[in-house]
Structure 1
């Protein structure tokens, strides 16, 4: 058996917009998802919007007992900015009461809350001003972060600023999956820069808050780039991909610098964002205590074919390719490559001063899981168990090699709503029956995870 370190965090991850529901209850205002669904419900799978999701707003006590039942000792979720500060200025006491009860219930049942501040849920009032496109957003986020630390810092000791910031940049400004569905590379870089500075200012507010035993980090989705060949062109494509997708946030968050190669790449392509003269100093002064790493799939790259200059898209920096030996999760269109998790562990050890980190998301989304239900009504999701086992094997190898990983969180605990995909793909240890009052039913993977936790390994 592969045994993990003592006090290893075993748990799951989720977010407020994907689980809470109660979209307009308790004083909450609209996020971009609430408003987008109102404007274009046909864009969403089966017209499933964020108003109910898995209804944690009303069911958190039930869910925490289920967490305890399978032995989870930690859980990462987020606060809804739109609930805590509905207009960006006024503290919503109903939200404070809800979150304090929620976090206290976790702690009382042996589940440590790890709380994230932003999980793609931009307030509509701020989106109307331009969202992350405008520098004003940095100050608004800093005030939100300060408010959260003041209200919950006595309960929550581990905080993160953003979940997968590259996603709302890519999906909102280089593709068509997040509002506002623009396609503008230079604007995407500016959005990314304001997001980075919002993170920096939130870290600054955290240091000022002086939370006893408090730690702050950021959650990044890491898809290591693997080149098609050892040719100089393909190796350069890998370097560009890693700089744009990984080092753009990881370097400033951990090392306190924006990589020179990234700055040079953007400058040569007329993509540099507008900055303030004091930003570099603030970035250097406000690094993180730990990093959460979300890993699902690798990135296979080769040299760009007929790149435009200046670049109009990331495809002008590198192209993807299909690795002939790949295994696929066809439901998500994602390659299954557990070996990358070892490479991530070594990256953290060797490039980032062996900073403490944890696997903040890893999981397998599958559609129509009811096909695998047995006579007793349990979903036999052996494919998910196999997926986790393979990834834990690589993670254990990385820990044995000296990488400071302190936990593993699955995406997710109960099946959740997933943006435009709605409930198409399921990820949870518990099935949520959205046709039957969101009833929770334990899957085989949940029972297996309970044994894994009891043994602290597999």
Structure 2
């Protein structure tokens, strides 16, 4: 069956500053949280690789832009590394060398016919602000972020017309303070809520500033909601799914899109003694400065069931008292990453946004397939024959376009990632790119089979899928 890609539907790719740039030219006080974590727990990063070299995008960005032009990519999303953007993060003194790099990348993309989309924070909170203010625990950091955003808009807003305030703002504090899986391993649910709140507020402040500057573009945020499926139709299982959605999806969706916090979330957190103090002025800022559009990172479904056991009264409050993860027998898996493959998640998320959030304009800002040991799929010319990635994209894109045909306000699809890149802890273990990165000193680039296929669907605006029945 032939699928036609709608006119003006974005077909792009994404990455981030810290996952590609490397440390060339980085100054002593310009560590981000990720840099500091890597330096403190290098042993948890696969084979010891971290952001130190990454793909060396600082020096090799033109090579990547040339490949984007060859593939005829329409859009590329990356970030400004907040930690590297200043030499003094409180006086907001810009590092002119790094700012020039960002400017040069923007110009190179535009010259290649690729529209840049910039994110202000992709886990790149400056370590100096973590040291002094405990990061997003402090209201001061919200104001410093707002100052940073204004400077970034003023510097680059003449050429960049699509901005994102954060990428996956829920992730760092969930891994650090809710689950205590990442350095510095502090379990503190109230701090988790505080970081969530301060990031919502910071986003609203950036939206306010951007609109005041009237630069003719738009501003959104990249969220990573998980489409939640209950194990069964039972009331208990349905309640478990609703609670997961409340704590991990609505906690950002609702204030950022509707300007208010869900009352049920507030009531539950207050009952468990973890709700945080909020200021009326800040809540007004959140109310009055909702997002223009939304980026959605979508990889896999979340399946839950009602809890099997009563919670331990001595354990700190965690939303998982309301649900257990459900392991669906027979599910299709990407075993390299440990993630379920369920393409219908694209369609279901589209309907979720349409039905619950006013059909806000949005696009998929990340979706992709990480595969371990990809070198085993290289042919005699060295090209990776990643047919599995092509099939993954094809299936997910098919369901996304089906949703668009039924009225979903989805504007496009951006693959994670354009090139292989570093990921937290996994480093280069799982390869995601249309372009392969060799871990040699030169960080040699080479096109994969999927890159050529991606080019073909951009040029023809069509692709083939097997009969629709196979994907239900």
* Residue in structure 1 matching 2:251, options 228, 248, 251: 248
Task: Work out whether 1:68 is the aligned partner of 2:69.
Answer: yes
Correspondence for 1:228: 231
| Residue 276 of structure 2: aligned partner | 273
- Matching residue of 2:114: 111
Other structure's SS at 1:217 match: strand
Report Cα offsets for 1:122-164 as digits up to 9, x if no partner.
Answer: 2111010200112211111111111111111101000000111
Distance of 1:228 and 1:39 partners within structure 2: 39
The match for 2:32 is: 31
Q: Secondary structure of the residue that 1:278 maps to in structure 2? A: helix
Q: Does 1:418 align with 2:452?
A: no
CA gap of 1:301–1:311, structure 2 versus 1, over 3 A, is farther
What does residue 468 of structure 2 align with?
none
Q: Is the 8 A contact 1:13 1:360 kept in 2?
A: yes
Following the alignment from structure 1 to structure 2, what is the Cα–Cα distance between the partners of residues 250 and 18?
Answer: 26
Structure 1 contact 217–288 (Cα < 8 Å) conserved: yes
Q: CA deviation at 1:176?
A: 4.2
1:205 aligns to what?
209
1:190 corresponds to 2:194: yes
Structure-1 separation of matches of 2:244 and 2:376: 38
Secondary structure of the residue aligned to 1:312 is coil
Matched residue SS, 1:421: coil
CA distance in 1, matches of 2:244, 2:225: 11
What is the alpha-carbon distance in structure 2 between the residues aligned to residue 94 and residue 436 of structure 1? 23
Closer/same/farther in 2, CA of residues 65 and 315 from structure 1, 3 Å limit: same
Distance in 1 between the 2:316 and 2:36 partners? 32
1:80 aligns with 2:85: no
Q: 1:340-381 CA distances to partner (integer Å, 9 max, x unpaired)?
A: 110111112221111111000000111110011111111111
Q: Tell me, in whole angstroms, the C-alpha distance in 2 between the residues paired with 1:196 and 1:86.
A: 26
**Residues 181 and 86 of structure 1: is their aligned pair in 2 closer, same or farther, counting only changes over 3 Å?**
farther
Corresponding residue for 1:138? Answer: 142
2:435 alignment partner, one of 408, 426, 430: 430
2:12 corresponds to: 11
| Mapped contact 2:41–2:183 kept (Cα < 8 A) | no
Q: CA RMSD in A?
A: 1.5
SS in 2 for 1:402: coil
Q: Deviations over 1:254-288 (max 9, x none)?
A: 11111112112212221211211222211110011
* Equivalent residue number for residue 401 of structure 2: 396
Does the CA contact (< 8 Å) of 1:27 and 1:83 recur in 2?
no
Q: Residues 261 and 308 of structure 1: is their aligned pair in 2 closer, same or farther, counting only changes over 3 Å? A: farther
Does the 8 Å contact 2:241/2:305 carry over to 1?
yes
Distance 1:27 1:210, change over 3 A: farther
- Secondary structure of 1:141 counterpart: helix
- The runs of 5 or more residues in structure 1 that have no matched partner are none
How far did 1:311 drift?
Answer: 5.8
CA distance in 2, matches of 1:221, 1:7: 24
Q: Name the residue aligned to 1:170.
A: 174
Does the CA-based 8 Å contact 2:435-2:448 persist in structure 1? yes
User: Displacement of 1:178 after TM fit?
Assistant: 3.7
Corresponding residue number in structure 2 for 1:49: 50
Further displaced range: 309-318 or 163-172:
309-318
Aligned to 1:371: 376
Q: Is the 8 A contact 1:86 1:92 kept in 2?
A: yes
Q: Distance in 2 between matches of 1:65 and 1:177?
A: 38
d(CA) in 1 for partners of 2:87, 2:405: 46
Structure 2 distance, partners of 1:317, 1:207, is: 39
In structure 2, C-alpha distance between the alignment counterparts of 1:26 and 1:181, rounded to whole Å: 27
Which residue matches 1:362?
Answer: 367
Contact 2:331/2:340 (<8 A) preserved: yes
Measure how far apart 1:71 and its partner are: 1.0
Secondary structure at the counterpart of residue 359 of structure 1: strand
Gaps of 5+ in 2: 464-472
SS of the equivalent of 2:107 reads: helix
Report which stretch shifted further, 203-212 or 75-84: 203-212
- The count of corresponding residues between Structure 1 and Structure 2 is 457
8 Å contact kept, 2:12–2:75: yes
DSSP 3-state at the match of 2:222 = strand
Q: 2:452 aligns with which of 424, 431, 447?
A: 447
Q: C-alpha separation between the residues in 2 aligned to 1:149 and 1:320?
A: 41
Instruction: Give the C-alpha shift of residue 455 in structure 1.
Output: 1.5
2:99 counterpart (96, 112, 123): 96
Quote the Cα distance in structure 1 between the aligned partners of 2:422 and 2:29. 18
